[in-house]
Amino acid sequence: MNRRITALTPQFVDSVPMPEAMQPGALYISIKYDSASHRCACGCGLEVVTPLSRSGWTLHYDGTVSLTPSIGNQEIRCRSHYWIRNNQIQWLPQFTYEQVQAVRRGHRMPPTARAQTAGGGIRGFLRRLIGKE
């Protein structure tokens, strides 16, 4: 059985190591390549790459690391879904197929339409999406 990871330790690197050399619990951040990578926090061991950009993920560093938006591994077999906040993993419910499609449609909407439909920010959007509001 896979062991879930509860926290990630940021490591600033020039380039991310090959997947087989990545350590569980490490978050590899490459400013040069605008990306952050880690092994999936569910423990399955697969590589998760988060491109850093205005239209991708944003990284906040204040001694700890937070990534926005959440990590939703819908394309890998574990389908895990979590936040990385202050180096900690905060688990979220798995998305259903319909929810994945709704999120993908949302990312294709113009920024003004996205802001109008996501009242309450990303938290409000996710709460509505998973029916918690």
pLDDT in tens, 44-101: 989 999 999 988 899 999 999 999 999 988 777 888 999 999 999 999 988 777 777 7
Nearest-10 Cα torsion for 36, 123, 3, 25: 30
Q: 100 and 85 in one domain? A: no
> 54 and 25 in one domain?
yes
Q: Is 99 in the same domain as 131? A: yes
Task: Please tell me whether residues 81 and 132 are part of one structural domain.
Answer: no
| 86 and 117 in a common domain | no
48 shares its domain with 105: no
Same domain, 77 and 41: yes
Between CA 10 and CA 36 the distance in angstroms is 9
Domain around 12: 1-94
pLDDT tens for 90-130 read 999 887 777 777 767 765 433 433 333 333 444 444 445 55
| Same domain for 84 and 45 | yes
Against a cut of 0.75, is the pTM above it?
no
**Total number of domains constituting the chain:** 2
**12, 29 Cβ separation under 8 angstroms:** yes
